[in-house]
Amino acid sequence: MDAVSEIVKAQNSAIKNSTKPEYNWIDYAKGIGIVLVVYGHVVRGLMNADLLEHPFFELIDSIIYTFHMPIFFFISGYLFYISLLKKKLCVVAFKKIDSIVYVYLVWSVMQTLLESSLSSYTNGSANFVDMYKIGIHPRAQFWFLYALFLIVIVFSICLKIFGKKTGYVSIFIGLFIYLINSYYLNGFMLWMLCAHFIYFALGYVLAGFYIKINNGVIAYDNYQLRAITLISFFMFMCAQYYFHGYYDYRYFNRGFFSLFIALVSLGFVIFLSIYMSRSVSKLVFFIGCLGGYSLHIYLMHIIIGSGVRIVLERFMLIDNVIIHISLGVFLSIVVPVFIAKYFNAKFFGVIFFGSFRELYDKFSNHTGALKW
């Protein structure tokens, strides 16, 4: 409980001192998303290890995978627009690419080396040769960083070409390549870009809409917001029922319907996050705090989750699914938070969670020479 209390206190303090309360919902959305990501990977790890095989868990897995990653691409587009209000495109784009490429390379190499060394214990088939392929074939969960890298480059080019019209043009482009990819393309690199560009574009456009209309402030009172959240939840449940139940589709059945499901689910997550950002519940604050550490959790949770499963199964001879899921999810979330809190204030924080610019400043006598 002390661990949980410390996280809650940190989130409570951050919220009270926030100068941009209208953006607090973003942390809650990231918190929801990262919990779903961790749960999905823990359960899939158990399935791959033949410890879990049940239609219920397979259904939940498919529901989660219809929308959990679009959350992060949408938020990335939203924050990209906000960053452009403060700095020029070239500065924002290079800073984003710098940090993405750095953590992608560092953690891809680290995780590949670890998986290769412990391949006899893990579900994967990683070997040391895979480390040299990360430039064209991202491993495991790091495909998200690879996709985001491609999207930032393409979207920045669109901004240069189309200027103020980029938002709506990019939505059209995103819709077109999403459908083309769903029905005709099979290339992995193309899939990563085409399947998620639309969500980044939507985040960018929605951010511009709210900023221009009312400076980003969500103008609903609590009763209106509660009603909208309940309606969006009802739409979410109906859409998922028809997708998975009536039509018997799964997350990999891409097309118009899968895009519709993702957008309805994304709308529910957004309204739920806004509603949560106004809550005084400590548990809700905890979710918001996890959103603040979502990158750290994302980078480390596979290693920790796999370690938990290996210890429970191989050394403690525990095959109880509930214990595996509970401990796997809990430790995969909490451990990265405390590692991040410790390392972020230390020298190694730059090495593991920084960027090329920060690393240069750390080791150079010209601190601050790069003004990105």
Q: Which two tokens stand for residue 236?
A: 């979410």
Structural domain that includes position 80: 2-363
Which residues, 6+ apart, have CB-to-CB distance to 345 below 8 Å? none
In a domain, 369, yes or no: no
Q: Which two tokens stand for residue 341?
A: 């809190």
In a domain, 267, yes or no: yes
Q: Which two tokens stand for residue 357?
A: 């610019």
In a domain, 139, yes or no: yes
In a domain, 248, yes or no: yes
In a domain, 54, yes or no: yes
Per-residue pLDDT tens digits for 222-271: 888 899 999 999 999 999 999 999 999 999 888 899 999 999 999 999 99
In this structure, which long-range contacts are made by residues 179-184, counting pairs with CB atoms below 8 Å and at least 24 apart in sequence? 179/255, 179/256, 179/259, 181/254, 182/254, 182/255, 182/258, 183/254, 183/255
Indicate the residue type of 348: F
In a domain, 372, yes or no: no
HSE-CB at 239 with a 13 A cutoff on CA atoms is 23
Nearest 10 degrees: Cα torsion 130, 135, 136, 142: 80
User: Could you tell me the end-to-end alpha-carbon distance of the chain, in angstroms, rounded to an integer?
Assistant: 40
Q: Given this model, what pLDDT does residue 160 score?
A: 93
Nearest 10 degrees: Cα torsion 127, 132, 134, 136: -120
In a domain, 346, yes or no: yes
In a domain, 251, yes or no: yes
Q: What is the pLDDT along the chain (372 residues), one digit of tens a residue?
A: 444 444 344 444 433 433 354 568 999 999 999 999 999 999 999 998 888 888 899 999 999 999 999 999 999 999 999 999 889 999 999 999 999 999 999 999 888 888 877 766 666 666 667 777 788 888 889 999 999 999 999 999 999 999 888 988 999 999 999 988 876 765 666 788 889 999 999 999 999 888 777 665 556 678 888 999 999 999 999 999 999 999 999 998 888 999 999 999 999 999 999 999 888 788 888 999 999 999 999 999 999 999 999 899 888 988 899 999 999 999 999 999 988 887 765 666 777 888 888 877 777 755 454 554
Question: Quick check: pTM over 0.85?
Answer: yes
Q: How many domains does the chain have?
A: 1
Task: Quote the DSSP letter at residue 35.
Answer: H
Task: Quote the DSSP letter at residue 139.
Answer: -
